[in-house]
């Protein structure tokens, strides 16, 4: 969990996949004596609902602004998200839970400066969409914030043409941060907290913070070269599915790697990683992504057992149909054969 101040308001950045996430956030909120908690860009999960219920039981007002709902669930996982969103609406005193099709940016569900009153604590997803949503809630904005936020969640769309100068700097600089290391989690959290603080400051015209982002971009360019080298080691593990094992590779840019693999004809890319929440629990993480032009025809959640549970402990994390993260065991025992059959 990351904690920082924006305009003297405390903002927490967290996921809600496990009971430990809920417990950590509740402990900090209790210490802060929060009167109202605003959840921004936090997908509805059982643990988020439990967090909201615990807060309401203590007399704390709960507000939600999110865009991860499933209006027409077509599989058990989507139904789970829709059900959790329904429960969250009932628990919160004010909940607006839309979907990405209607609101690509969570910030568009928020009015600038809407949540900056005394006693408010914001809890947001720990990515740039969550950050910009929190910024707008506190009235800390820049002209292209909503347009940038709509692209921040879509890696393949990120470019100098689709983002503001600041947004494009941020996307590249973000790729240089230290990956999560379960043996030293504070290191990656501190790095992201510093990055978030620099982004906020740069958005308000701080030249030193802007220079810091540009320095990181120079590191990013080196990672672009590493990605191209890594792509040369790719193996086609199923028809139009290309896998690279990045566990021993130097830091690389994922967007560049994805483009290189798609250039080989990949409809699905698979990157084996030594970091990430599943790697922390199981030793390795297999991250699958569907190329953008094939996302309507390939649903990665269909490769999983019916009624699967999404959590690091089960070795499965999937909140959308086009992204999937699994352990090596789930990959070998379930996903690889199902993917081979699906793409045959």
Residue 58: what pLDDT?
97
Give start and end residues of each alpha helix (H) in the chain.
19-32, 46-57, 76-91, 128-137, 145-152, 165-174, 185-203, 207-231, 254-263, 277-282, 328-330, 336-343
- Choice between 276 and 60, residue whose per-residue pLDDT is larger: 60
Residue 207: what pLDDT?
97
Residue 96: what pLDDT?
98
The answer, yes or no, to whether residue 115 has pLDDT greater than 80, is: yes
Residue 180: what pLDDT?
67
Give start and end residues of each alpha helix (H) in 97-234.
128-137, 145-152, 165-174, 185-203, 207-231
Structure tokens at 72: 């027409």
Residue 178: what pLDDT?
77
Average pLDDT over residues 247-270: 95
Tell me which of 6-15, 57-66, 72-81 is least confident: 72-81
Q: How far is residue 42's CA from residue 137's CA, in Å, rounded to a whole number?
A: 14
Tens digits of per-residue pLDDT, 294-329?
999 999 999 999 889 889 999 999 988 999 999 999
φ/ψ region of 258 (left if φ > 0, alpha if ψ in -120 to 50, else beta) reads alpha
With cut-offs at 50, 70 and 90, classify the pLDDT of residue 186: confident
Fold entry, domain 227-343:
Diaminopimelate Epimerase; Chain A, domain 1 (3.10.310)
Of 37, 42, 48, whose CA–CA distance to 97 is shortest? 42
Residue 268: what pLDDT?
98
Tens digits of per-residue pLDDT, 284-296?
999 999 998 999 9
Residue 182: what pLDDT?
64
245 touches 272 (CB < 8 A): yes
Average pLDDT over residues 327-339: 98
Pick the CATH number of 2-153 from 3.30.1360, 3.90.550, 1.10.150, 3.90.190: 3.90.190
Domain positions in the chain = 2-153, 227-343
Tens digits of per-residue pLDDT, 70-92?
999 987 878 999 999 999 999 99
The answer, yes or no, to whether residue 185 has pLDDT greater than 80, is: no
The answer, yes or no, to whether residue 44 has pLDDT greater than 70, is: yes
Residue 236: what pLDDT?
98
Tens digits of per-residue pLDDT, 90-105?
999 999 999 999 999 9
The answer, yes or no, to whether residue 181 has pLDDT greater than 70, is: no
Tell me what percent of the residues of the chain surpass a pLDDT of 70. Answer: 99
With cut-offs at 50, 70 and 90, classify the pLDDT of residue 60: very high
């Amino acid at each position: 969990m990351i904690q920082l101040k924006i305009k003297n308001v405390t903002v927490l950045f967290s996921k809600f996949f496990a009971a430990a996430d809920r417990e950590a956030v509740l402990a900090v909120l209790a210490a802060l004596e929060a009167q109202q908690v605003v959840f921004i860009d936090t997908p509805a999960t059982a643990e988020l609902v439990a967090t909201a219920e615990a807060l309401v039981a203590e007399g704390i007002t709960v507000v939600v602004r999110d865009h991860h709902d499933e209006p027409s669930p077509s599989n058990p996982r989507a139904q789970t998200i829709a059900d959790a969103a329904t429960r969250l609406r009932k628990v919160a005193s004010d909940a607006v839970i839309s979907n990405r099709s209607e609101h690509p940016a969570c910030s568009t569900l928020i009015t600038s400066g809407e949540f900056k009153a005394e006693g408010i604590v914001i809890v947001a997803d720990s990515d740039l969409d969550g950050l910009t949503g929190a910024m707008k809630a506190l009235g800390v904005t820049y002209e292209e914030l909503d347009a940038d936020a709509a692209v921040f969640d879509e890696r393949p769309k990120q470019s100098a043409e689709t983002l503001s100068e600041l947004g494009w700097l941020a996307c590249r600089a973000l790729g240089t941060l230290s990956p999560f290391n379960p043996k030293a989690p504070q290191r990656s959290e501190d790095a992201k907290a510093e990055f978030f603080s620099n982004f906020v400051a740069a958005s308000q015209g701080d030249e030193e913070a802007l220079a810091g982002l540009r320095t990181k971009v120079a590191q990013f360019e080196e990672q672009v070269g590493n990605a191209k080298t890594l792509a040369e080691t790719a193996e086609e593990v199923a028809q139009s599915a290309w896998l690279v094992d990045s566990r021993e590779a130097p830091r690389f840019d994922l967007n560049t790697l994805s483009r290189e693999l798609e250039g080989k004809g990949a409809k699905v890319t698979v990157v084996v990683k030594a970091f990430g929440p599943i790697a922390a629990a199981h030793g390795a993480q297999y991250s699958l992504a569907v190329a953008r032009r094939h996302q309507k025809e390939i649903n990665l959640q269909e490769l999983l057992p019916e009624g699967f549970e999404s959590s690091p402990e089960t070795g499965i994390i999937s909140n959308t149909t086009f992204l999937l993260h699994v352990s090596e065991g789930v990959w070998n025992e379930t996903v690889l054969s199902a993917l081979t059959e699906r793409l045959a």
